[in-house]
Amino acid sequence: MAQDADDPGDDARRDVWSDPSPGDRFARVVDASPTALVLSNLDGRIEMVNRQLEGMFGYDREELRDKPLEVLMPRRFHHGHIDLRNRFFAARSSRPMGEGRELFGVRKDGTEFPVEIGLNPIELEGTPMVVASIVEITARRRIEAEKEQQRVELARSNADLEEFAYVASHDLKAPLRAISHLVDWIAEDIEATASTETIDNLKLLRGRVVRLQLLLDGLLAYARIGRSKSNLEKVDVAQVVRDVISVLSPPPGFVIECQEPMPPLRTHRASLLVVLQNLIGNAIKHHDRSDGHVSVTMRKQNGMAEFRVSDDGPGIAPRFHDRIFVIFQTLASRDEVEASGIGLAIVKKRVEGHGGRIWVESEPPARGTTFVFNWKEAAS
């Protein structure tokens, strides 16, 4: 192929690229870096900076040449930095500067800004030097501060809500008991003369009072989570299940099966009992037949216990699998099943408080629902 008259040729191109000395080539690489870089000697004096550093600190590079590195730092760091620099050159290795401490740079106009600094020792023509890479982290700090503020506000809001639920439900229990007594007294007084409609209305009123009592009890239980501190102990899980069965007293047609062996679990017994009592109780309460079967299994692996509470009831449609864990949510009409809608919210909060999560496995029209939850074992 003929050579273009304007093309200097391969030899000329090689001359262009081979002209710069190693120092010049290094300077070009440093200047092209997207990170602010500064090269300093053993005396801590600036040999070279790149364009990124000029823009970050507001200096022209000639203003910084042969100046001490401390010119780029707030005055309060000067003395400490000289000591750190000397120690770095005594044991040179690539590492972050000031790890675990907040570092700041200072611009030519005196404004300070947070930075991260990486130190890298090099040798140029046999002379030991250090290249410092500087990254401004003002935006990151702002985002971190905003997230921390949001976390604090959320924690305070949650604490306020729990305190309100605790106080409100506790203070409402006394007047509610008074209403319940009044309903009973009225029913006794008018029993001989009341119409059937009046008697039915009183029964309806009594049912509403019971529902409200369940709701307040649930709110109190939900608000108390995390307030009381129970002791860690080695828990016999099978015995906990047997205790739950004894308390619930399932109808004659129901079989509650605890599939042993169940290895002991180091945890808070009261919390685990609350979770299992809610799940087994729900399996009985929401069953659509007079007889049924509920099984509880447990296995341990890598410090976590997995529990499965399964029933042969009507099942739960997948679209409701998340909804049922929301406080005050129930799938059945409250006139059909008296429920507060808080039980599974309590279960979820307890499980998550012990490092686990809970989910549902159910696919109607196939019968049966399985609640599966993980529970982290406490360290010995």
Domain ranges of the chain: 9-136, 143-224, 233-376
> Residue 44: which region, alpha, beta or left (left: phi > 0; alpha: psi -120 to 50)?
left
- What integer pLDDT is reported at residue 223 of this predicted model? 63
Give pLDDT tens digits for 83-103: 677 677 666 666 666 565 788
At which residue do the structure tokens 């529902």 appear? 211
CATH number of the structural domain 143-224: 1.10.287
Q: Is 150 exposed, middle or buried (0-12, 13-18, 19+ CB in 10 A)?
A: exposed
Residue 121 and residue 130: Cα distance in Å, rounded?
Answer: 4
Q: In terms of pLDDT, which residue wins out, 205 or 374?
A: 374
Q: Is 27 exposed, middle or buried (0-12, 13-18, 19+ CB in 10 A)?
A: middle
Residues 6+ apart with CB under 8 A from 23: 124, 125
Q: Find the helix or strand (DSSP H, E) in which 105 lies.
A: strand 103-106
Determine which of 188-192, 204-208, 330-334 has the lowest per-residue pLDDT on average. Answer: 330-334
Out of 3.50.50.60, 3.40.190.290, 3.30.565.10, 3.40.50.150, the CATH code matching 233-376 is 3.30.565.10
Which residues, listed in sequence order, are joined to residue 298 by a DSSP beta bridge? Answer: 307
Q: What is the pTM of this model?
A: 0.49
- Mean pLDDT over each residue of the chain, to the nearest integer: 82
- The answer to whether 9-136 and 143-224 have equal CATH topology is no
At which residue do the structure tokens 């935006």 appear? 139
Q: In terms of pLDDT, which residue wins out, 81 or 300?
A: 300
Find out if CATH 3.40.50.720 is the number for domain 9-136: no
